[in-house]
Amino acid sequence: MSGAETAVHAGAAFQRRPLVLLFRRAWRQGRTRIGVFLVLLLVGTALIGPLFAPHSPSEFVGLPNGGPSSAAKLGTDNLGRDILSRFLWGGRSILGLSVAATAIGLVFGVTIGLVAAYSRSILDDVLMRAMDVILAFPSIVLALVAVATVGPKLWLIVLTVGITTAPRVARVTRGASLDVVERDFVRAAEAIGESHGRILLGELLPNVTSPLLVEASLRLTYSIGLIAGLSFLGFGLQPPAADWGLMINENRLALTVHPWGVVMPVVAIALLTIGTSLIGDGLSRAAAGIERGGAE
């Protein structure tokens, strides 16, 4: 007697859509909330900071390396410009470049990873070997090599950081996709003749979003560090631009005199990277929890 089976799922209403479920679970953790707060704080500073800057970032307001005064609340930098103003102006470039580079890396990496996992043929080997070649360099070394002849062009920085991000994203995507590719619903889609593109986008991609989100926040954290590092080394924005990484290097020698020129941007970068990292970790734990304990 095949009577109607009704789902006997009594109890509290629970979230149905898998992605919303993930975000909710992640939000429930303290670390995610702290991370979001930090990121919002720093992004806010970077984006609307300039509106509050008392001076323009290239204006000379006092003697070089002067201590805090009425004109310069945090003192002046190595050329006599207001540290506070330069700090408020200095976040945009790092943020913009990092986000752009991460986005490029994600797009390429995800595509390569999905295609490699789905092809299950020699294409997989070829793609992964290509990724290995890029991975054979520490990211910063590759960036330096690129900059060596052409010079520190911004588009080159973004492109190179994107290129170093892509293989790592590709590896993670491929790993997660290999699990999914073996599942029967992909077979089912192939059996009814669904096109390859539709299978990649409709069957594979939605099922790897959890690990991808985690990886994306990891990559963003790393990109910020890398781009700030390149700026610090002098290969990012060039003087007289206001940029946190550049500021740190410019004011290094004055550390013994007063620290604000270094401490402010250092703390800003630190908090930003910690923030993105906490969000990533929160997402990662939420994803693992869902896998283990079922949807509640």
Residue 28 burial (CB count, 10 A): 13
Whose Cβ is closer to other proteins: residue 29's or residue 111's? Answer: 29
Closest CA to 98 of 44, 154, 137: 154
Number of residues binding to other proteins, judged by CB under 8 A: 79
Least distance to other proteins, CB of residue 89, Å:
20
CA separation for the pair 135, 109 (Å, rounded) = 13
Contact letters for other proteins, residues 271-290 (x by CB under 8 A) = --xx-xxx--x---------
Least distance to other proteins, CB of residue 240, Å:
18
Whose Cβ is closer to other proteins: residue 40's or residue 48's? Answer: 40
Contact letters for other proteins, residues 109-128 (x by CB under 8 A) = -----------x--------
Least distance to other proteins, CB of residue 195, Å:
9
Binding segment toward other proteins, per CB under 8 A, in 44-52, 76-84, 97-105, 229-237: 229-237
Least distance to other proteins, CB of residue 120, Å:
8
Question: Taking CB under 8 A as the criterion, which residues in 26-55 touch other proteins?
Answer: 31
Whose Cβ is closer to other proteins: residue 105's or residue 275's? Answer: 275
Binding segment toward other proteins, per CB under 8 A, in 11-19, 42-50, 73-81, 84-92: 11-19
Whose Cβ is closer to other proteins: residue 9's or residue 70's? Answer: 9
CA separation for the pair 237, 147 (Å, rounded) = 13
Which pair of tokens denotes residue 55?
A: 């001076």
Whose Cβ is closer to other proteins: residue 26's or residue 146's? Answer: 146
Q: Is 136 exposed, middle or buried (0-12, 13-18, 19+ CB in 10 A)?
A: exposed
Q: Which of 65, 83, 221, 283 binds other proteins (CB under 8 A)?
A: 221
Q: Per CB under 8 A, does 215 bind other proteins?
A: no
Binding segment toward other proteins, per CB under 8 A, in 45-53, 56-64, 100-108, 190-198: 190-198
Whose Cβ is closer to other proteins: residue 76's or residue 160's? Answer: 160
What is the longest distance spanned by two Cα atoms in the chain?
92
For residue 152, which phi and psi values (nearest 5 degrees)? Answer: -75, 70
Question: Taking CB under 8 A as the criterion, which residues in 128-187 touch other proteins?
Answer: 129, 132-134, 136-142, 144-151, 183-185, 187
Whose Cβ is closer to other proteins: residue 71's or residue 189's? Answer: 189
Cβ-Cβ contacts under 8 Å for 26 (sequence gap 6 or more): 32, 279, 282, 283, 285, 286
Q: Do 277 and 221 meet the contact criterion of CB atoms below 8 Å apart?
A: yes
Closest CA to 254 of 64, 86, 55: 64
Q: Per CB under 8 A, does 67 bind other proteins?
A: no
Q: Per CB under 8 A, does 13 bind other proteins?
A: no
Cβ-Cβ contacts under 8 Å for 241 (sequence gap 6 or more): 57, 93
Q: Do 123 and 112 meet the contact criterion of CB atoms below 8 Å apart?
A: no
Least distance to other proteins, CB of residue 51, Å:
26
CA separation for the pair 257, 240 (Å, rounded) = 22
Which pair of tokens denotes residue 104?
A: 């490029």
Closest CA to 231 of 257, 266, 258, 264: 266
